[in-house]
Structure formats: C-alpha cells, structure tokens
Amino acid sequence: MMIKQILWCAMTILLAVHTLAARDINVSNVQLHLSSTSSESYYATVSCDISWKNSWRDDVNWDAAWVFVKYQTNEGIWKHATLSTTPSDFVLPDGFMLTPSPDGKGIFIFRAEQGKGDVHLKGVHLRWLYRLDGMVVQPNSAVRVFALEMVYVPEGAFQLGDGTLFNVTGHFTDPFQTVSRTNPERKVMTFRGITPAPSRPEFRESLVLTSSGVKDVSKEETREISRPARIESEREILFGNSTADNFGNSQGKGMLLSDDVPRAYPSVAISEHFPKGFAAFYCMKYEISQGEYAAFLNTLTDIQAANLAPEGSAEHRYTIRAENFKFTAAHPERACNYLDWGRGAAFLDWAALRPMTELEYEKAARGTRTAAAGEYAWGKESPIPVEDIIIDEHGREHILPEHANCNFGMKTFSDGSKGALPCGFAEQGNLGRKERGASYYGIAELSGNLWEQCITVGDPQGRRYSALHGDGELDYDGSANVERWATGINGMGYRGGSWSNQSFRLRISDRQVAVGGAVANTTVTAAALGFRGVRTASPIK
C-alpha cells in the first residue's frame, strides 16, 4: 500500500472534564497517518494528545493511562485495534515512559521519574498494525482512542483479613485457633479440636486472666484468636476450616452464604493461575463512570447496546439516556451504577481488562501495611459521610461537608436523590489518603459509593478463573466471551460496600456477600452496583 497521505478521522472524547479532580482524562486531536513508502510495513500511526489531572509517581507506585484504539470497519462495526508490542515503535513526550501489552491490545503510559501534578501529553504516537486485524485502511477510515486512569499495584506479600473478633463476616484468617489456660504455668493450645495445637510460632499466644486487675488462676478461659492470613506468592493455596495449614473464612460467621469455604470436607485448592494479589497488576483508579459507559455503548451494535444499556433511575443518580441509539450521560463524572455482572464484564472485555479477584481487592485496598481490626480502605479512622451535594452555576457537583471522604448510609440529598456520587468526589486539593478516602496505593472509593464486584474464592465458578484479559470483542448479543471468566452471579461477589450500606459493610475484610447467588442478591440493590477492572502488569523494560 503506497499511500502517503494523512487521514483525518473521527474521534470520540471518552470523558468529560469536571471540577472534582477525577475522571479528568481526556483524549483529543486524533489523527491517522498511513505508513510511508514500504508496501511491507502495513502499519499506521495514530497520533493524539492525552491529559489527566492529579498524576503522581513516588517510591511506592504510580498512576498511569491505559490507552487503546478502536477502528470502524466498512460495515460500520467498531473493532479493537492491534498495536505494536515494541516500545520503540511509539512516541511520547520527555519525562514519560510506556509499557505495551504483550497481546497488542493497548499501552500503559506513566511518569518516568518521581513527581506529581497534571499531565498534558502532546503528540503521542501509537503504532497500529492494521494488517494483523485484516483491515485495509481507506481514506475514510475512522478510529477512536480511549484512555482509562489506572494505578500500579506492585508485587509483594500482604495480609488477608484483619484479625477482628467483632462483627465477623467471613473474614479471611490464618488457621483458626483457640487458647485455653488454667494457671500461669500451664497453657493448652487447641486448634480446631487438636490438642496440643501445632507448634508453629504463630500459634503461641499469651493469655493473662484478671479479676479486678488481679491475676485469677482459679478460672479457665478459652478464647478464639483470629489472625490475618498472609499471601506470599502466586502458588496454589488451600482454603478450608478443618485442616491446620489451610486458609480459613472465620467459619463463615456472618455470611449470607456461609459454606463458601467448606467445613464438611478438608479443603479446596486455589490454583496457581488464580490471581492472588501477590503479582503486580494495574487497577482502575475509579469505578467505571457514566461517561465511560456511555462511550462504550456508542461503539456497540444496536443489539449489543440494547442488551447492555441499564434502565436506571434518576432518583438513584443514573443519567445515561439514548436517542436513536446515541447514548449520552447528563453527568458523565458520576460512577456508573446498575452495572450487573454481565454489563460490567462486557465493559472489561471491550477494554481488554479483566475482573479483579477478592484477594486482589484486599491487596489494592490494604497494601502491604499490617492489617488493623475493622479497617477501611484509607485506614482505621471512621468514615466521614457525605451529607449533601450542591450544584454550582455550571452544573458541577460539590460535596458537603467539604471534608467528607465516603458515600454511605443511604443519604437522601436535598435534590431528593440518593445514590452514586462522582468518581473521586473527595479528591479536592492536596489532601492525604485518609482525607481523600483513598486506598494504600491511591485507588479511590474501594470503601463506599458503589459495590465492587470481584471474582470469589467461595464458589467453583469463581475458583476456576485464570486471569485471561479481554480481547476487545464481544459476542453477537454483547456478552463477554473470555474463557474461564465467571458467567453468572455464582462466580462473583460484592466487596467494599456502597451508598446504601452502613459503615461496617465498608470494611476491607467484610465478606457478608462475597459470594453471589440468590441470597446475596436479596440485599444488594442494582442501584448500588458498580464495577472496575484490572490488568496483570507486564515487566517494565
């Protein structure tokens, strides 16, 4: 193909800019440049400008833009473009670097050095290997460039569960233990009926009995000790409550489906292919926004869009509407609710991401810090609820009180609505993690706003998950079609709580509805369902 001309093509801005310092990623000035004189090159360059706010890189991690391209066929169907996997085939401004995905589905762009502030990247060049897509580029070919804000979660060991003995709801634990003591010289350690308990150091627990502040050696006391489990690799692990070396779920206490980790037989294996959170991954910085979901719907066929467009209520702050199958969001900055598993999984498949597991959820929220009983994504401090919202003359929303950091408690705002707030609503100014309601790694709203939907370890459909990424294409009806992804509610569960819950559901370790199924769905309203995706990180070259 000897064409030398530059083609100007259609471009869709994925997100609208707004004042809440979130979902501010913007793609503009998209152009398509065909390859030069060589008929053997079969590539095109897609150039664009990309900007987003509140970017950072520190000595722990960084944020990034996940950038991918869609092209339109002669039949009017939008397909996912295959990009080069060679870093030198791309062009970025100084101060930034990139990692192409091994499957050619997109690239991660992030800071090369430590720093923070807004990002304005002009003249980004993406190499599209259109021959691999079976595409013949024409002068009227159209492409769209999409970008999602992500956060890098580095490789490393971490704790599961928080060790609490109060309001326990299926918290993950190290082997379940009890301690009995009759006097200071004699201590009997019991592990699930085994006496003496295994002599591993972590079973050794001192117990001082007191009566009015004085040691009382005449009484015998038995108590449970709950310790967080620890993930130290991606190797196979065993879950169950009847074997000494297994990970447990606090005997299923407080769960709606309490047999997710079995008691009747020894254990279930969590394969080495199931993502446990030890390996590095990227997590969406925010839940899918209504603007993002509308942009997604606008690349689908009429049949796909009809099946995947929610019928949400304005009362619960859902604003996506369609006219002649053109979808727009009146408030594109708001987190998108009404995303059941099928809709959320379809978005992730389309964006070449994947669902996160509930183990990855705890890693993304807690990080490598020592678990604290009853903690939230930002730490031990109690959440500060949003009590109301005000709308300025430009139609932009602001929270009250200004120092609130979490949306929970079924609040009805002064406009009569209750539901999802804008993504990153607490990110105002140079606030700390606690004030922003952000996780250890800087990920927003992992506690509250909308439920996080995760692959569960509590059901065979979830345990068969093998971390394959979406390929950018959906089935004829709009369904995700990735092998070994959960296809229904039995393979997933809900974590992190939402606007419709009280504070104890917001805890990182809360697993009351960590297994989907009919029972869980009776307590989780569709208006409180959100979604976000992850992608396994490739080595940085």
pTM of the model: 0.88
Q: Domains of the chain (ranges plus CATH)?
A: 6-154 (no CATH), 281-289+302-536 (3.90.1580)
- DSSP readout, 28-91? EEEEEEE--S-TTT--EEEEEEEEEEEEEE-SS-BEEEEEEEEEE-TTS-EEEPPBPS-GGGSB
Q: Give the pLDDT confidence of 163-187 residue by residue, as tens digits.
A: 888 888 889 988 554 444 443 433 4
Is the separation of the CB atoms in 282 and 64 below 8 Å?
yes
Can you read off the two tokens belonging to residue 75?
């039949």
3-state SS class at 330: coil
What count of Cα atoms within 13 Å lies in the side-chain half-sphere of residue 292? 33
Place of tokens 């250890």: 440
Instruction: Reduce the DSSP state of residue 192 to 3 states and report it.
Output: coil
| Six-digit token string for 130 | 């259109």
Start-to-end Cα distance in the chain: 32
DSSP calls for 252-271: GTT-SSTTSS-SSSS-EEE-
- Which amino acid, one-letter code, is at 45? T
The pLDDT of residue 510: 96
Instruction: Provide φ and ψ at 217, rounded to 5°.
Output: -95, 5
Q: Residue 225 has what pLDDT?
A: 59
Which residues of the chain carry a pLDDT beneath 70?
1-23, 36-41, 139, 175-225, 241-244, 258-259, 261-266, 429-430, 517-524, 541
Neighbour-count burial for 521-535, b at 16+ CB within 10 Å, e otherwise? eeebbbbbbbbbbbb
Q: What is the 3-state secondary structure (H, E, C) of 195-246?
A: CCCCCCHHHCCCCCCEECCEECCCCCEEEEECCCEEECCCCCEEECCCCCCC
> What pLDDT is recorded for position 246?
82
